[in-house]
Amino acid sequence: MIDYVLFVCFRLTLEANVFRLVIGWNMTERGECMLADERRFRITEMLSRQRTVSASELKDIFNVTAATVRRDLAHLERKGLLVRSHGGAVSKLPSTNFQPSYDAMGRENPAEKQAIATEAAKLILDGDTIFLEGSTTVSEIVPLLQHHKRLTVVTNSPLILVELRRHPEIKVMCTGGELQRDVFYLSGIWAQRTIGEIRVDKAFLGVSAIDPEYGLSTASHDEAAVKKILIKSAKMRIALVDHSKFGRQGFAFVAPANELTTLITDSGTPPADLKTLRDLGVHVIVAGQD
């Protein structure tokens, strides 16, 4: 009898307890009345360790309905902390170094990104000095530089550096800095200083979050600092933003949208956002349209 009780106890508590241990709870702390914010905080805490969470697990842990879990995840998705997927969510926290995040998951919307990069490449003239910032969209520009003459390219992305080895006529410079490996991006004091010392004709910015009113923002403070200086160092500031980045606000503010000279996006972007940007004086190019 006692064995059976123990067994049932074991089964019942096992699942939930794993998570409680993982996220640092102990048994007594869980009250019946948990605030929504508290719950959401716990979710982000889990995601900083786990990469994914499943909706049904969360339902059991917090003793709420699936609807509430969905609302929580939707909320956190709007804040840019995770991406929802069927059955749960995937972490988007910058601090989480789950290995091939750049290699693999940065490959979303390849067609849109390529279309955007094609428009961007059209803006580059022979003899230009340009800055290519580390970002999956921006790096798509590199293969399109075949036929440009006398180009100077400055970059803070090791990947772009490696890609550029195929273009012997291009003069290539690297900013240096500390490697943020989740995004494959050099930042920090060295990057800031070198960028501050130069003046480029065109800077191609990767952007992870844009809200036409709030402006550009990003998940990392370091990255924001680099972008700020880059914006000051460039005559033309061209942002490459696919539609999934719109309406988002990241942790660190970069600049108001009107500091951009040009913004290139794809046809999936809400027309209202495009209009707001144009009213701010930004030259908006929509790739994949005539």
Backbone phi and psi for residue 71, each to the nearest 5 degrees, phi listed first: -65, -40
Compare residues 89 and 252 and give the one whose CB is closer to DNA: 89
The verdict on 33 binding DNA (CB under 7 A) reads yes
**Cα–Cα distance, 64 to 37 (Å, whole number):** 14
Residue 283, CB-side half-sphere exposure with 13 Å CA sphere: 8
- Choices 55-63, 133-141, 150-158, 256-264; region in contact with DNA by CB under 7 A: 55-63
Residues 6+ apart with CB under 8 A from 217: 208, 209, 210, 211, 224, 248, 249, 250, 251, 252, 253, 254
Q: Using the rule CB under 7 A, which residue among 53, 61, 72, 137 binds DNA?
A: 72
Q: Which is nearer to DNA, 39 or 232 (CB)?
A: 39
Cross-strand bridge partners of residue 191: none
Do residues 144 and 167 make contact, with C-beta atoms less than 8 angstroms apart? no
Nearer to DNA by Cβ, of 72 and 182: the residue is 72
Segment interacting with DNA (CB under 7 A) among 6-14, 78-86, 174-182, 247-255: 78-86
- 272 CB burial (10 A radius; 0-12, 13-18, 19+): exposed
User: Which of 232, 227, 266, 264 lies closest to 121 in space, CA to CA?
Assistant: 264
**Taking CA 33 as the corner, what is the angle to CA 30 and CA 39, rounded to the nearest 5 degrees?**
70
| Of 6, 8, 9, 36, the one binding DNA by CB under 7 A | 36
List the one residue from 13, 65, 97, 258 that touches DNA (CB under 7 A). 65
Q: For residues 52 and 249, which CB has a smaller minimum distance to a copy of itself in the complex?
A: 52
- In angstroms, give the least distance from the CB of 263 to DNA: 27
The one of DNA, a copy of itself, none whose footprint includes residue 67, by CB under 5 to 8 A per kind, is DNA
C-beta closer to a copy of itself: residue 158 or 288? 158
Of 2, 5, 14, 35, the one binding DNA (CB under 7 A) is 35
Q: Which does 236 bind (CB under 5 to 8 A by kind): DNA, a copy of itself, none?
A: none
Binding of residue 88 to DNA (CB under 7 A) = yes
When asked if residue 41 is in the footprint of DNA (CB under 7 A), the reply is no
